[in-house]
Structure 1
């Protein structure tokens, strides 16, 4: 029997973008490669190897693309759904023979417009990048800059995100012409991301800053970007607080206890042992306690 073909992470993420483009084009599904290699291609961030291939698909065909990937051996990790501060925006797929993930986005966090409207704003100015001999659709440089800025804004604790946002500002100031600056602002406006990107828009004079995000969404965005590593715990806490009294005990139990069959893992059949399950539970409880202390010390309200 021939040995299985293996490749490193950098090769895998490159080929994964080509695979998604090929699979999507075959069924006339519009998809854009985003983040990692696209940002590096445009010089919006320093090159580095990504652990996954991120793609944004036209929302109406999101389920179709996921089914196509599943038909080629890609599957989600085992695990239960937990409360999220922001709208569910993607599904992450893995493959037993690939060392990388594929993150399929139906929308990109930070855009608060209808997902289809935000996608069309990015698709309108699209370009292409040849990846593994396949022409992969990507946003324009301005569109990629909006995606990079939104990604950097999601985590206020990340030093790397702060550094990348600073580098992005420099690129826009030094390299973007008026048309690209106007396009950046136009995409932010169409995608209802002006409030999220208010600092960079205001500092660089890209356009008028205004609130295009409802107050409740603003609150959740701010909590998420400050407590993103603790998002699941904070999500449970907010859900408990907002539930009627008769439902609170059940929610608290679900938050505190994960059945063995629902413990996150790559293989459906590899159910953790009881010892592994208890170790996982104890680690969750420690993280949860730290997260709640951090959340409350920040003076957060529900």
Structure 2
């Protein structure tokens, strides 16, 4: 006899959460088939699915109408008769993120990674607020540190689910520290990080350090890996103090990061050393650990140094040194004559509107030389 269970790539109970809705069985569920948007259930449908959550539920325990509904659930990818299904859901909680949709995105990405064997760790975002590192709760996107050897695979899987890769001059090269995946149906961008600027070790070693200093956290009923609190402190400081040409970390930012790092004590210092990020974080470490004997690395990592240049042209020419020769030629050609998509994207970030692709390219070169005061918020 068949026994039914609930399955999904993430589920939350919105009862009492959604404005104007008073239904304790209002559910939002990601299908295991990867649909463009969550499936909504309420009333008898919501009650029946939550019954499966507490299951397995034998066919004999269901009415004829319920058996028909469960068959429909199975067709939609939210029920199964395999009680060992890897996407089985045994609890459905209320969302803890301010945006329930963002929480479902965390769960969906985690499930995609799990099913394909790609290791990931969710970084920054609301976990920082939950760990007491920052006061702001909501983030506009989802940040994921990905196994650098498989980031291209995860990009392809997310593309199949409706995300699209943002144009980037460094795309497909080792100079690309992150890939922004723009959302259409999900209205939530996903940033896939290959490495974090400021780390002097290889991307593979850096990811191993993050993975070894991670713990589990539930997002939309799905277990996800997030950094430990000491690890989050280091990631926070690297992100906040990362230079972007003429824009450098302010004294207020340095002091804030110094406090965040010092609150983590010796374990935080050990992680900074493991990542060989001491020089990148030196201004904050000098303030936060005035009595500690810190073994600083000889010189800044190149992935930090090129961002510290006074303009983009100088920075890009320095960054090219990080790349194999074949990739250097690709980037040089893109710098000289970038694609229309890259030109449109960078001009949009600079709040510049042009009718001509030729003029757009010229303006982009000018900004690279003299600097651009209008920067996208990180």
Fold in common (TM above 0.5): yes
2:158 is the counterpart of 1:75? no
Q: Which has the higher contact order (CA 8 A, sep 6+)?
A: 1
2:243 is the counterpart of 1:155? yes
* Inter-CA distance 286–40: structure 2 relative to 1 (3 Å threshold): same
Describe the superposition over 1:68-106 as per-residue Cα deviations: whole angstroms up to 9, x where unpaired. 222222221245448x9x932121111221333211112
Q: Which residue of 1 aligns with 2:355?
A: 275
1:58-207 aligned within 5 A: 58-78=147-167, 80-81=169-170, 87-155=175-243, 163-173=252-262, 176=263, 180-205=264-289, 207=292
Describe the superposition over 1:42-71 as per-residue Cα deviations: whole angstroms up to 9, x where unpaired. 121221532321111122332332222222
Describe the superposition over 1:122-148 as per-residue Cα deviations: whole angstroms up to 9, x where unpaired. 222312222223222111110000001
Q: How many pairs does the alignment contain?
A: 262
* Inter-CA distance 87–253: structure 2 relative to 1 (3 Å threshold): closer
Indicate the larger mover: 9-18 or 87-96: 9-18
Asked if 2 retains the 8 angstrom alpha-carbon contact of 1:195 and 1:210, the reply is no
Asked if 1 retains the 8 angstrom alpha-carbon contact of 2:261 and 2:285, the reply is no
Whose Rg is larger? Answer: 2
* Inter-CA distance 225–41: structure 2 relative to 1 (3 Å threshold): farther
Offset at residue 112 of structure 1 (A): 1.3
Q: Which residue of 2 aligns with 1:246?
A: none
Describe the superposition over 1:207-250 as per-residue Cα deviations: whole angstroms up to 9, x where unpaired. 4323325x4x54662451354xx43x334555899xxxxxxxx9
Asked if 1 retains the 8 angstrom alpha-carbon contact of 2:178 and 2:195, the reply is yes
Q: Which residue of 2 aligns with 1:212?
A: 297
Structure 2 residue matching 1:275: 3-state secondary structure: coil
Q: Which runs of 5 or more structure 2 residues have no equivalent in the other structure? A: 1-35, 39-97, 322-329, 346-352, 373-378
CA distance in 2, matches of 1:5, 1:19: 11
- Calculate the TM-score normalised by the size of structure 1: 0.70
Indicate the larger mover: 104-113 or 14-23: 14-23
Structure 2 residue matching 1:60: 3-state secondary structure: coil
* Inter-CA distance 57–113: structure 2 relative to 1 (3 Å threshold): same
Structure 1 residue matching 2:371: 3-state secondary structure: helix
- Calculate the TM-score normalised by the size of structure 2: 0.58
Q: Which residue of 2 aligns with 1:268?
A: none
Q: Which residue of 2 aligns with 1:295?
A: none
Aligned match of 2:368 in 288, 295, 300?
A: 288
Offset at residue 161 of structure 1 (A): 6.6
CA distance in 2, matches of 1:50, 1:279: 35
Asked if 1 retains the 8 angstrom alpha-carbon contact of 2:241 and 2:249, the reply is no
Asked if 2 retains the 8 angstrom alpha-carbon contact of 1:79 and 1:263, the reply is no
Q: How large is the Cα RMSD of the aligned pairs?
A: 3.9
